Amino acid sequence: GLPEDQIQKGKDLKSVTEIVQDGKKFTITITTGSKVIKNQFTIGEESEIELMNGQKMKVVVQMEGNNKLVAEAKGMKSVTELNGDTITYTMTFGGITMKRVSKRI
C-alpha cells in the first residue's frame, strides 16, 4: 500500500530498542539516528505513548504469556514479542501491516 521508496526508506532505518521491565512497569526507548522516543507504561493501565511520527495516543498494553506485549487503539494494533535474542514487532493500521525483526546486541 506504500510507494516503494517509502518502503525502502523504512527498511534502511537502523534503530536500537531498549526494553526495561520492573514487574508490570515497562520503559521502552527507541533510538533511530538522533531521534529518541521513550515510552513508559504499566500492564493493564491506560498510558499515553508516542509513535514514530511524533503523534501521541492513549493505549492499554496487555501481556500475553510471558513474552508478548499487545496494544490496540484507534484501529491500530501493535504486538511486540520477545523470543530468545529476537524481538519481533508487528503493527497493523488501516489494512497495512509493518513487521520489524531485531536481534539482541
| DSSP for residue 51 | -
Which of the two residues, 4 and 46, has the higher pLDDT score? 46
Domain with 58, as residue range(s), is 4-103
Mean pLDDT for all residues in the chain: 88
- What's the structural domain count of the chain? 1
| DSSP for residue 54 | S
| pLDDT for res 1 | 62
Q: Is the pLDDT of residue 27 over 90?
A: yes
Residues 86-104, mean pLDDT to the nearest whole number: 89
The two beta strands, 35-42 and 25-32, are antiparallel
Residues 67-76, mean pLDDT to the nearest whole number: 90
| pLDDT for res 60 | 95
CATH code, domain with 98 = 2.40.128.20
What's the whole-model pTM score?
0.78
Q: How far is CA 65 from CA 69, 70, 83, 90, in A?
A: 9, 11, 12, 17
